[in-house]
Structure 1
Amino acid sequence: MKKKILFLCTGNSCRSQMAEGFAKRLGPGIFDVYSAGIEAHGLNPRAVQVMSEAGIDISKQTSDVLTKEMLNGTDLVITLCGDAKDKCPILPAGCQHVHWGLQDPARATGSKEEVMSKFREVRDEIAFRIQKLVSEL
């Protein structure tokens, strides 16, 4: 039976979108994967670009605000930032919560290449954590 996983961050624009993309790629048949945010900031084009570099197209994913209905039947909620962790609603009985405190690449400063480097760094960290999650199941 597939596990329902929800990735949650503040704006559902970068980290949770990348996590959704990797989990769908690395865990087919294992996970039903969703992502949401405390707010919806729209899909970040830099996240789309760095995921494309990794061979994963997230351009059709949508930036969604978390609803109580999304939590129904969810087995695991993974928060990707402190804001989402702090504002995460009470989870249904039986739902696990894991926190991955990752820097927000959308807040990176510097040259275009420095900003893209931060996006790639966060992308690679998410890929590593998703691979570990898959191997543990």
Structure 2
Amino acid sequence: MNELISALIRARSEFQPIRKDKVNPFLKNKYATLDAVLEAVEPALRQNGLTIVQTTEVNGDQTVLKTSLYHESGQSISGHYPLPQTDDPQKLGAAITYGRRYALCAILSVTADEDDDGNAAHTPTPKPAAANGRGTITKAEWEARKRSPAQA
């Protein structure tokens, strides 16, 4: 493992800055596509005898993305990223691309997203809208919710 780690340390010092080339339309944050990440890291990986291989595997009823970092010495490290179960080939393809980007960044310890301090992982619970459409509830609506929250 020592040769792989030494080569990875050298390669990391040669990685180009990862260009954040897309904007998430929902969160409005910038991120790097898989192509942008590969463009930034592949030349340094090759120069240091390293390559990435990403394949899908089925473990029981779960499909996983396996990401392996190989060194020319034969040493390697791997990680597994579970993929969502779906019968829709387009959704699976999108999940594989998304997983490839995250797994690649993880195995190389690089970042392809803006640091939002975990805010994207936390979605606030929406407040119930008032029945009267004014954003406030009447006393009668309040009493009804207190008596039967599930029906209000």
TM-score with structure 1 length normalisation?
Answer: 0.29
Greater share of helix residues, 1 or 2?
Answer: 1
Larger radius of gyration: 2
Greater share of strand residues, 1 or 2?
Answer: 2
Structure showing greater relative contact order (alpha-carbon pairs closer than 8 Å, 6 or more residues apart): 1
TM-score with structure 2 length normalisation?
Answer: 0.27
